[in-house]
């Protein structure tokens, strides 16, 4: 942590803590998405297909939340900006 002034130190500490909370929220979103996948699988396995579309719709919202939170995190932590480059690189690799 840079200690240029008392004010700056406090600001950076708050940003770091906020970034950590956003990071935790992203993890929670992915865990929720995984749970929805499991619910969809269980519903299909039990022949309760009428709830699959509803849960899948909710899951898509969670995917959007991941993207939104990722963008928020990138404004708080400069270190994660290479993620977009990694996504582009991997997309090129899997589409070969």
| Residues lying near Fe ion in the complex (CB under 5 A) | 62, 65
CB distance 77 to 27 below 8 Å:
no
* Nearer residue to Fe ion within complex by CB, 12 or 62: 62
Residues 39, 13: contact at Cβ < 8 Å?
A: no
Residue tagged 């899948």 (tokens): 56
Residue identified by tokens 């993620």 is 83
Q: Which is nearer to Fe ion, 9 or 68 (CB)?
A: 68
| Minimum distance from residue 33 beta carbon to Fe ion (Å) | 9
Measured from the CB atom, the residue of 17 and 31 that comes closer to Fe ion is 31
């Amino acid at each position: 942590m840079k200690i240029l002034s008392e004010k700056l130190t406090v600001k950076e500490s708050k940003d770091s803590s906020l970034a950590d909370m956003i990071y935790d929220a992203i993890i929670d979103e992915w865990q929720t998405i995984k749970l929805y996948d499991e619910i969809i699988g269980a519903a299909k396995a039990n022949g309760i297909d009428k709830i699959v579309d509803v849960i899948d719709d909710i899951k898509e919202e969670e995917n959007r939340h991941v993207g939104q939170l990722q963008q928020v995190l990138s404004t708080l932590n400069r270190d994660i900006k290479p993620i977009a480059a990694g996504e582009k690189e991997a997309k090129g690799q899997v589409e070969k």
